[in-house]
Structure formats: C-alpha cells, structure tokens
C-alpha cells in the first residue's frame, strides 16, 4: 500500500503560486476570524448567557488560542495544504478518519460561506433593495468562485480591503459604546449578569461558549494556504497568534459595548441584527445604511476566505491521495485549483437554499471542536516524527488541555442543543456516503489503470 503521507506526484501539474507574505497572512487570519460570526451571533450568545456575553467570547478565545499552538507546530513540520486532514493522516494513517476530518472541515467552510450568502441577501442587502434571497445567494457564490479562480493574489488583496472595512464597522460599535459611557449611558451591572433561569451558571456559560466558538474559528483555515505563502515555517507563528489576539480583543470590546447599552433579552430578540440594535441605542442619529453596507462587506470577506480554504483543502487531499487526483488539477495560467473551486462552489449553491445561521453556527462549532480535539491528539502522536528543519514547538501541556476543553464543549455536559448533534449527524452521514462513493471511484480508476494496454500518465 502506498504511503499517503508522502503525497502524490505532481507530474505535469504546476505548483500553486506563493504570493502571501507576513502582512497578507496576518490580514487573512484576522479577516477569516472577524466576519459573519460576530456580526450575526452576538444576539444569540446573549440569549444563552445573559449580560455577561463577553465571557463566552473570551473563553472561546482561550480554547482556540491553545489549539492554535498545535496547528503552529504541525504547519511548521508539514508546511503543505490540507491542514487538519493532513495531520490526522500522518498521525493515525486511517484513510476513513482522514476523510471524515477533511469532510468536517470542508463542511465548516462551505456552510459558513453559504450562511454568509444568505445573510448577504436576507439581512444586509435587504436594507437597500428587496430581492429573492436564494437568487442573490447563488449569484453571490458564483461571484466568489470567479474571484477565487482569478487567483489567490487577487483574493488575498481583496481580503485586505474587506478586512479593513469590516474592522471599521466593529470599531464604530466600540466607539459608540465609549461615547455613550462617557456621557453617563450604559448599565455596568449587566456585565456580570448570567442567565440561569432554567440551567446552572456552568451550563449557561458552557452553552454560550460552544456557540461563541463559531466566531473564533477561522485561524485554522490559514494552514490550508501554506503552499501559497513565502517561508510559511517562519511567518506562521507570529501572524496566527497576533491575528487571534487582535480578533479576540475586538470581540470582547464589542460584546462589552453591546451588554452595556442593550439588555440581553433585547439583544437576543434582535438575532442577526443585534449590532444594529446597539447602534440605534448608542447613536440613534447614525445612518443604519452605512453599517448595513459594512455588514455586506463583512459577510463577503467571510465567505471568500471560507471558499478559499475549502478549495485548497480539496486540492491538498488530492495530493495526499485521499481524494481522486482530479481535485489536484491546477489551472496552467491562473495557478489555482480550478476543479476544487468548482466542486466547493456547487455544494455551496445547494446549501444556500437551506442555510440557517443559528443552526449552522452551532453545528459548525461542534464539528470543528471535534476536529480540534483530534488535531491536538495528533500533535502528541506526531512528536515521534522528527523533521530536519527547525519549527515552532508547543509546550506539551497546551495540546493536552486544549483536547480536554474541546471534548468538554462537544459533550452534552456543555448544554449544547440537541439540534447541533442532529444536523452534525446528518452531515457526517453524508460524509460516510461520499467516502463509499470515493472508494468505489478510486478502485475503478485503479482497476482501469492496471488492465493490459492501459496508458499511464
């Protein structure tokens, strides 16, 4: 049996173009984390925990930050696309597990992009013009695919512009909060209120943290861009850790501002429009249209980065011989994985008709927490695999604690809604079906190539 860890031969296939330096990578990490999550889930987190909604965002950051150390050591040892799936494959060598991890990560990216497409049409674009949400979502995904195909250089440069715009929206919310507090508005006592109406304080915080975790994911997407970075072993640690610190600081400040100005019950009632509610209370004269326009750019950026990640993940898995080689095809002039881009975009278009941000947010966080637990364990297993070059090394206690916390947030003990498990189970069932189809296709291709007279490429 061929060792899949050696990767597939790239005969006649050009390499991906290395265009990302430390600054572009930093913007990529920040832009991927700050997106649909904080713009859409603030109200729902408040509904689970109450006025102390800053606490779940902070705890989610701590768990994500510890897991990031595992990713940094692994991307330093294996600076290639495919991320968590690659590390799972190298650590355990079980093709089925590798495939399911890859499927879960891909689902997280595509469902997030689909949710962003729905939010684009149903929430922010609706402030300007009323159009059928499904048609807008489909057009949105197609536009993202064209940008993705055009080239990673254009995509990451667009990400810089969009990240600056979406950061400006969150800075407006923070500025409104500072202004209101200086003028004597706001209720500081809300910052320590925890909603324990029908649950314990631990379950309230855990449940809210498990949802807030959706807003902190994204940093792991960057490892799938390793083959398009200059010197990834050197630039990844600083870019990823600083990106996470910047995003977490903004999240905590936004959540504190929201809680100071608006009661948790009203934030929960506003759902995806929670930040607009904060703006109305703190700066009633501020044009809602400006913030809605910023929200449009935020969901565009979130969706663009997630689709970039999904297509690179498929490409990387093809090179690791987990998927058929067709997914590893690179366009000769654009130097982008065009087959993977098309495949990911088709799935996103299908999901646009069914995407629901509240359900997909919790489910995506659940799937990624499982993946993160596996990555943390894989790091410990791969400590025995030595490489010749220098790389980042995480303290051993960090991945151990990170794995424990991730598994706790996955379990029913955290107060996670049953709907999350139901949707995740359905997605994983689809993954098992795809695994069987993929296995049959690979066997058919292998059988065809072994026949007498078959031509080998």
- Dihedral of CA 235/385/368/10: which sign? positive
Task: Output the pTM of the full model.
Answer: 0.79
Which residues contact residue 67 at a Cβ distance below 8 angstroms, ignoring those fewer than 6 apart? 220, 372, 375, 376, 399, 402, 406
For residues 72 and 239, the answer to whether their CB atoms sit within 8 Å is no
What pLDDT does 165 receive?
86
- List the chain pLDDT tens, one digit each, 457 residues: 334 444 444 444 566 666 677 888 888 788 778 866 677 778 888 988 999 999 999 999 999 999 999 988 888 888 775 678 888 988 998 989 988 998 888 888 887 787 777 777 777 677 788 888 788 888 888 988 888 888 766 666 777 787 888 889 889 999 988 888 888 888 889 999 998 777 888 888 998 998 888 778 777 777 766 666 777 777 878 888 898 999 899 999 999 999 999 999 898 887 667 888 888 888 888 888 888 888 888 778 778 778 887 888 788 777 767 777 788 888 888 888 899 999 888 888 887 776 556 666 777 788 889 999 999 999 999 998 888 778 888 899 999 999 999 999 999 988 888 888 888 888 888 889 878 877 887 788 777 666 666 554 4
Question: How high is the pLDDT of residue 2?
Answer: 38
d(CA 329, CA 314): 10
Q: Which residues contact 166 (CB under 8 A, 6 or more apart)?
A: 31, 34, 35, 39, 294, 297, 298, 301
**CA-based nearest residue to 398, from 374, 371, 382, 380:** 380
Per-residue pLDDT at 293: 85
| CA dist list (Å): 106 to 12, 291, 308, 312 | 27, 30, 11, 10
Judged by phi (left if over 0) then psi (alpha if -120 to 50, else beta), residue 176 lies in alpha
pLDDT value of residue 452: 63
Distance CA 4, CA 2 (A): 6
pLDDT for residue 233: 72
Which residue ranges form the domains of the chain, and what is each CATH number?
Answer: 17-446 (1.20.1740.10)
Looking at residue 51, what DSSP letter applies? Answer: S
Q: What are the tokens at 237?
A: 């640690």
CB 276 within 8 A of CB 291: yes
Rg (CA), the chain: 22
Q: How far apart are the first and last CA of the chain?
A: 20
Which residues lie closer than 8 Å to 151 by C-beta, 6 or more apart? 17, 19, 334, 335, 336
Give the helix ranges, DSSP H, for 93-221: 95-119, 133-150, 152-182, 201-216
Cα separations in angstroms, 249 against 30, 142, 194, 276, 375? 11, 33, 21, 20, 25
Q: Are 232 and 392 in contact (CB under 8 A)?
A: no
pLDDT of residue 5: 43
Q: Which of 220, 242, 239 is nearest to 231 (CA)?
A: 239
């Amino acid at each position: 049996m061929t060792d899949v860890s050696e990767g597939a031969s790239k005969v006649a296939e050009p390499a991906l173009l290395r265009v990302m330096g430390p600054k572009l990578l930093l913007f990529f990490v920040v832009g991927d984390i700050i997106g649909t999550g904080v713009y859409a889930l603030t109200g729902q987190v408040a509904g689970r925990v109450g006025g102390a909604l800053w606490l779940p965002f902070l705890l989610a950051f701590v768990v994500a930050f510890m897991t990031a150390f595992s990713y940094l050591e692994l991307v330093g040892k294996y600076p290639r696309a495919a991320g968590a799936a690659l590390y799972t494959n190298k650590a355990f060598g079980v093709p089925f597990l590798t495939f399911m991890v890859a499927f879960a990560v891909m689902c997280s990216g595509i469902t997030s992009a689909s949710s962003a497409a729905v939010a684009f049409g149903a929430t922010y674009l609706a402030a300007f013009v009323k159009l059928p949400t499904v048609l807008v979502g489909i057009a949105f995904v197609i536009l993202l695919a064209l940008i993705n195909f055009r080239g990673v250089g254009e995509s990451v440069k667009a990400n810089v512009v969009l990240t600056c715009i979406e950061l400006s929206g969150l800075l407006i919310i923070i500025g409104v909060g500072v202004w209101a507090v200086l003028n004597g508005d706001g209720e500081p006592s809300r910052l320590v209120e925890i909603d324990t109406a029908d649950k314990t304080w631990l379950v309230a915080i855990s449940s809210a943290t498990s949802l807030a975790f959706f807003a902190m994911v994204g940093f792991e997407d960057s490892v799938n861009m390793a083959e398009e970075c200059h010197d990834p072993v050197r630039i990844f640690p600083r870019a990823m850790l600083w990106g996470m610190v910047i995003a977490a600081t903004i999240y905590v400040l936004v959540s504190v501002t929201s809680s100071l100005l608006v009661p948790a019950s009203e934030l929960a009632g506003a759902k995806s429009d929670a930040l607009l509610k904060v703006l109305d209370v703190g700066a009633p004269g501020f044009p809602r249209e400006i913030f809605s326009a910023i929200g449009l750019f935020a969901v565009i950026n979130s969706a663009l980065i997630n689709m970039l990640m999904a297509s690179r993940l498929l490409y990387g898995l093809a090179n690791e011989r987990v998927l058929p080689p067709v997914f590893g095809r690179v366009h000769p002039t654009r130097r982008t994985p065009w087959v993977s881009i098309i495949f990911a975009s088709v799935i996103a278009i299908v999901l646009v008709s069914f995407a629901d941000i509240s359900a997909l947010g919790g489910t995506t966080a659940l799937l990624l927490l499982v993946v993160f637990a596996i990555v943390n364990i894989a790091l410990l297993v791969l400590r025995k695999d030595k490489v010749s070059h220098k790389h980042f090394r995480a303290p051993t206690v960090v991945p151990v604690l990170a794995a424990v916390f991730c598994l706790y947030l996955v379990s029913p003990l955290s107060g996670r809604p049953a709907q999350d498990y139901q949707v995740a189970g359905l997605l994983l069932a689809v993954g098992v079906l795809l695994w069987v189809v993929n296995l049959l296709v690979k066997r058919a291709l292998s059988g065809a190539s072994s026949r007498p007279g078959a031509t080998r490429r």
